[in-house]
Structure 1
Amino acid sequence: MTETPKTELRKGWTTGACATAATKAALQQLWGGAFPKEVQITLPRGETPSFPLAWSQAGEGWAEVGITKDAGDDPDVTHGALMIARVRASNGGVIFKAGEGVGTVTKEGLPIPVGEPSINPVPRQMMTQVVEEQAEAFGQPADVEITVSIPDGAEIAKKTWNPRLGIEGGLSILGTTGIVRPFSCAAWIASIHRGIDVARADGLTHVAGCTGATSERIVQCLHGLPDHAMLDMGDFLGGMLKYMSKHPVERLTIGGGIGKITKAAQGAIDLHSSRSQVDFKALAALADMPKVAEANTALEASKIAPQLPELVATKASQEIRARFGGAMQNLDIVVIDRSGEILARAEG
């Protein structure tokens, strides 16, 4: 059983907020001649956090500042990474460039065009606003080139969805509020949505969502799917299905272990162990074998009733189709054990 934290979890700041703060501090040196000790910015919802400078440097016609990302109590892979913004004069408004460790968009379907640095719209708006404010304060034209860099960003990006989404060379500068909420599911679900967008934009007719690495490997091999057809569903079945019901792809495969697929068969759309449980009495009724109700796990239940994987796969397919309608008619359920063996399939 998951314990409730005794104290409030500490929030953190997005890569977009850190890059914005770095941009503001660098502009103050470029136009004012001195770096501040710390810099305050205004986030989209009105919060005004301050950031200490972790790195500062200037040269002829340019200045750069680094801000260390603090993700609070969220297990964010970018926690502790240095977000560096270098600013220099440009000839046409605010121009964004990807420095070391910041990715470049190579596939359609993302909110940023192909060929552009992977700096999302809200961080771009935040940095542009900072440029305009500082330009007015120092009597300068708001024509600035901003190059954002993240040392080790390319290596950190391997732990994210960026390679699969067609973002090459590093991390993305993200955030819609500027705030990282501890243990929020929003970022994961947003990545699933972007994966669907990329697949649709690339004309893919078949995508797959799996609960873990083993099931993903087996499903990808089974259907010969490219990497960007594999959606990082994890436990967020509902987050994937709700979005796909409005942004359909012709065929969907869902792969997972007997426990997770059993939950889906019983109507759960959040498959995390703390938010849904297997109903063993219902499983016994499905198998028409009362002894199944005594099982401790779905895997144990399937050993008592070997027909269960097929029954669960079929029931999960029926449950999802009934709940999410016509967009899920071409649905394929694959039940996989821990060794990677396919236990059952229900093909639409």
Structure 2
Amino acid sequence: MLNLPRSGYTLPVFACAAAIAALRWLNQPQWYTSVEVDLLDSSGIVNVPIEQISGLNETTALAITRSDPGDNLDLTRNTPVWAMVSRLPSSSAERIVLQGGEGIGRLEYGAGEAAIYAYAKRLILENLTRWLLPDDRIQVTLILPEGRALAKRTSNAAFGVVEGLSLLGTSGIAQPLSAPGQLEEFRSLLREKAQQFDALVFCIGENGLDLAPKLGLDAQRLVKTANWLGPLLVEAGFQGVRSLLLFGYHGKLMKLAGGIFHTHHHVADGRQEILTAHGVKVGLPTVQAQALLAQETAEAGLNFLRQLDDVTGQSWSLPVYESIVADIDRRSQQYIYTHSEKSVQVGTILFDRQRNIVVTSKIAAELLESGLRM
């Protein structure tokens, strides 16, 4: 019998639990070993352990819990999550003021607000509102003491989140995306989608899942793949899917142009090499190709090409990326046929760290016109 990996909870759930505990302490000072958190969207109510709780003064309390992401390769495992709740004057306009403290990343672009995304905000606000008295007004400050250090080991900066971790996620359940046993659950979800639609959208992670509906893609067709693109591409072939749109961050999906179909960085990388090879393919001069290869990240490589566009007055970034997505489409279709003997049309859309579209392949443009939009 297959032992599926254990699920855990996302960071927003632990931040919410700590905030609930701190607020309840203000209402009635006592020790809470755990609190209930409603995960919303019919996901149920869960008990989250509280590690420490204390009143700091008559109007402020602090509670601490620890992240448990389940059986996953997650660097936030056991990291402390703090929430400080302070009473505000009853005349305050907002019932709950939510802010990010130390270790909560901020969005580099825009107003530099805390990187607390939609689900996290809704989760915290809805759960805390249930514990407020009619005249209560509170300020909630979320803190990740280890967040700044941990962020250096993530790709957060690639998405414009600096100085800490983001509270990101579309649900409270942390699926163990890196654990091999998770692949079977992903296959099962894909089979369900394939029974409803013959055209689907593959998104590697949360950024793609969050961005796709905002760009008009049908949310019902979205399939999260994590790094299991190869097996899930083949499964799509076996399930009779007619067409697939690959939608994701360019620094991840470009690996497919090099024939890398498991995109976890522990398995293989090669992004700079792939980017440079396509630069050479479209005629990038040797000196610029060498400079491109020396860039530390795929995002830096994209920015280098864009700067080259401005300096030379020529277009290099778009031809390079058009070449990359053409190869992603071709290699993905070949991969599916080789392993399933099924023909599936594959198109690709890539976005950058600001979540702006970099390029849409020709096949992807055709798929968008054929009904993938809402």
> TM-score scaled by structure 2?
0.55
1:70 to 58, 68, 80: 68
1:253 to 300, 303, 321: 321
1:17 to 13, 30, 44: 13
After superposition, the Cα gap between the structure-2 partners of 1:73 and 1:327, relative to the gap in structure 1 and judged at 3 Å, is same
Counterpart position of 1:51: 48
Counterpart position of 1:222: 292
Q: Can you give the 5+ residue segments of structure 1 that lack an aligned partner in the other structure? A: 109-113, 198-206, 233-248, 282-319, 329-348
Report the residue type matching 1:158 in the other structure: K
Alpha-carbon distance between aligned partners in 2 of 1:23 and 1:123, rounded to the nearest angstrom: 12
Q: Aligned runs of 1:304-343 on 2, under 5 Å?
A: 321=361, 323-325=363-365
Alignment size in residue pairs: 246
Render the CA deviation track for 1:57-94: whole Å, top value 9, x for unaligned.
32112111111111111222222211111100233321
Report the residue type matching 2:270 in the other structure: T
Check if 1:128 corresponds to 2:125.
yes
After superposition, the Cα gap between the structure-2 partners of 1:325 and 1:45, relative to the gap in structure 1 and judged at 3 Å, is closer
1:180 to 174, 179, 195: 174
After superposition, the Cα gap between the structure-2 partners of 1:105 and 1:128, relative to the gap in structure 1 and judged at 3 Å, is same
After superposition, the Cα gap between the structure-2 partners of 1:89 and 1:188, relative to the gap in structure 1 and judged at 3 Å, is farther
Counterpart position of 2:217: none
Render the CA deviation track for 1:213-250: whole Å, top value 9, x for unaligned.
43236637539989684699xxxxxxxxxxxxxxxx96
Q: Can you give the 5+ residue segments of structure 2 that lack an aligned partner in the other structure? A: 187-201, 214-249, 256-267, 277-290, 303-316, 342-359, 369-374
Counterpart position of 2:105: 103
1:26 to 10, 22, 26: 22
Check if 1:165 corresponds to 2:159.
yes
Alpha-carbon distance between aligned partners in 2 of 1:231 and 1:82, rounded to the nearest angstrom: 35
Counterpart position of 1:291: none
Alpha-carbon distance between aligned partners in 2 of 1:166 and 1:250, rounded to the nearest angstrom: 22
Alpha-carbon distance between aligned partners in 2 of 1:187 and 1:26, rounded to the nearest angstrom: 36
User: What is the CA-CA distance between 1:188 and the residue it aligns to?
Assistant: 4.1
Alpha-carbon distance between aligned partners in 1 of 2:361 and 2:160, rounded to the nearest angstrom: 30
Counterpart position of 1:302: none
Alpha-carbon distance between aligned partners in 1 of 2:149 and 2:205, rounded to the nearest angstrom: 23
Whose radius of gyration is greater, 1 or 2?
A: 1
User: What is the CA-CA distance between 1:252 and the residue it aligns to?
Assistant: 6.2
Q: In the alignment, is the contact (CA less than 8 A) between 2:272 and 2:301 conserved in 1?
A: no
After superposition, the Cα gap between the structure-2 partners of 1:52 and 1:223, relative to the gap in structure 1 and judged at 3 Å, is same
User: What is the CA-CA distance between 1:262 and the residue it aligns to?
Assistant: 7.5
Secondary structure of the residue aligned to 1:210 is helix
Alpha-carbon distance between aligned partners in 2 of 1:125 and 1:77, rounded to the nearest angstrom: 25
Alpha-carbon distance between aligned partners in 2 of 1:82 and 1:18, rounded to the nearest angstrom: 9
Render the CA deviation track for 1:189-218: whole Å, top value 9, x for unaligned.
333567999xxxxxxxxx665325432366
Counterpart position of 1:191: 207
Alpha-carbon distance between aligned partners in 2 of 1:228 and 1:106, rounded to the nearest angstrom: 18
Alpha-carbon distance between aligned partners in 2 of 1:79 and 1:191, rounded to the nearest angstrom: 21
Alpha-carbon distance between aligned partners in 2 of 1:42 and 1:35, rounded to the nearest angstrom: 20
User: What is the CA-CA distance between 1:169 and the residue it aligns to?
Assistant: 0.9
Alpha-carbon distance between aligned partners in 2 of 1:160 and 1:255, rounded to the nearest angstrom: 28
User: What is the CA-CA distance between 1:6 and the residue it aligns to?
Assistant: 1.8
1:156 to 150, 154, 159: 150
User: What is the CA-CA distance between 1:36 and the residue it aligns to?
Assistant: 1.3
Render the CA deviation track for 1:157-181: whole Å, top value 9, x for unaligned.
1222211222111001122221112
Q: Aligned runs of 1:279-318 on 2, under 5 Å?
A: none
After superposition, the Cα gap between the structure-2 partners of 1:251 and 1:322, relative to the gap in structure 1 and judged at 3 Å, is closer
User: What is the CA-CA distance between 1:49 and the residue it aligns to?
Assistant: 0.7
Alpha-carbon distance between aligned partners in 1 of 2:172 and 2:64, rounded to the nearest angstrom: 17
Q: In the alignment, is the contact (CA less than 8 A) between 2:37 and 2:46 conserved in 1?
A: yes
User: What is the CA-CA distance between 1:263 and the residue it aligns to?
Assistant: 7.5
Report the residue type matching 2:21 in the other structure: A
Alpha-carbon distance between aligned partners in 2 of 1:86 and 1:24, rounded to the nearest angstrom: 10
Alpha-carbon distance between aligned partners in 2 of 1:54 and 1:187, rounded to the nearest angstrom: 35
Secondary structure of the residue aligned to 1:123 is helix
Alpha-carbon distance between aligned partners in 2 of 1:231 and 1:140, rounded to the nearest angstrom: 54
Percent of residue pairs bearing the same amino acid type: 19
Secondary structure of the residue aligned to 2:168 is coil
Report the residue type matching 1:144 in the other structure: I
Q: In the alignment, is the contact (CA less than 8 A) between 1:101 and 1:150 conserved in 2?
A: yes
Q: In the alignment, is the contact (CA less than 8 A) between 1:164 and 1:228 conserved in 2?
A: no
After superposition, the Cα gap between the structure-2 partners of 1:129 and 1:7, relative to the gap in structure 1 and judged at 3 Å, is same
Q: In the alignment, is the contact (CA less than 8 A) between 1:19 and 1:83 conserved in 2?
A: yes
